[in-house]
Amino acid sequence: MTLSFLHKGRKFCCSATTTTASTTNNNTTTTTTTTTDDDNDDDNDEDEDDDDDDDEVAGDEGHRPHGRSDGRACAAEARAVKAEEAEARAVEVEKRAVKAEVRAVKVEERAVKAEERAVKAEERAVKAEERAVAAEERAKAAEERAKEKHALEMKKLRLEIKKLADEDEEREEKKKKKKKDEEEEEAASAPAPAPAPAPAPLPPPPPPPRSRMRPPQQQQQPKKLRWKGATKYC
């Protein structure tokens, strides 16, 4: 049951529960009605504090308004419940704030770790680049050493070939000298041969006709080539 009334120019609403008990005795019925005020409005509660003077005046007259003390108790209980709920909400808000702060700290830690990993990755990249440059320099140095070694080997090979050619030429000269000495010794030890009679002169050949004659070609003499101490003709 909802009740509304005016007090000091303001309208108040409250819900009331009415309990009716009936007693029958000798054909006489007695009805008792109890009304409980369940008003939870804070404004009404504040106005109830302002009405203490009126309650005292009513007490002087020997009666109090019905259900005022029960309404104040219900309002106080409602305020206590609201205070507990507000406190619980504040605790939840504080918990959420703490969780948010913890998450923020974790996010910051992850960001710091990510930055450290990025720095380490950059350092590794720099070291890798330095190693690549050093490897390239070593490769160039190895190539230069290989070229120098090849040039030295070729020089040694040319010197060895020249030495062998000189040795071959020296052996050929020794052989020629030895052969010449042997021929001279044989010529000195052998008797001188008798001179052969001179052959009779041959008649000159008849000249060919001039119209069909070509000038005689001179026979070319073979050229002497000297190579590594040996004499060759071609």
Q: How confident is the model at residue 182 (pLDDT cuts 50, 70, 90)?
A: confident
Instruction: Reply yes or no on whether the pLDDT at 218 is more than 90.
Output: no
Position 150 scores a pLDDT of 95
Question: Has residue 37 been placed in a domain?
Answer: yes
Question: Has residue 196 been placed in a domain?
Answer: no
Pair of tokens at residue 206: 């008849």
Span 35-50, pLDDT tens digits: 444 444 444 444 444 4
Provide the domain count of the chain.
Answer: 1
217 or 24: which leads in pLDDT: 217
Compute the average pLDDT of residues 111-128.
96
First to last CA, the chain: 149
Question: Has residue 44 been placed in a domain?
Answer: yes
Span 92-101, pLDDT tens digits: 999 999 999 9
Distance CA 60, CA 53 (A): 11
Span 1-22, pLDDT tens digits: 455 555 555 655 555 454 444 4
Position 203 scores a pLDDT of 74
Distance CA 7, CA 5 (A): 7
Domain that holds residue 46: 2-21+30-97
Question: Has residue 51 been placed in a domain?
Answer: yes
Pair of tokens at residue 213: 């004659």
Stretch (H or E) spanning 92: helix 68-189
Question: Has residue 157 been placed in a domain?
Answer: no
Position 188 scores a pLDDT of 79
Backbone φ and ψ for 125, nearest 5 degrees, come out as -65, -40
Amino acid identity of 184? E
Q: How confident is the model at residue 135 (pLDDT cuts 50, 70, 90)?
A: very high
- Picking from 67, 16, 71, the residue whose alpha carbon sits closest to that of residue 42 is 71
Question: Has residue 111 been placed in a domain?
Answer: no
Pair of tokens at residue 16: 């009331």
* Low-confidence winner among 23-27, 151-155, 188-192 (lowest mean pLDDT): 23-27
Mean confidence (pLDDT) of the chain? 74
Question: Has residue 176 been placed in a domain?
Answer: no
Span 47-87, pLDDT tens digits: 444 444 444 444 444 444 445 667 788 888 889 999 999 99
* Centroid of chain to Cα 229: 72
Distance CA 44, CA 5 (A): 11
Position 173 scores a pLDDT of 92
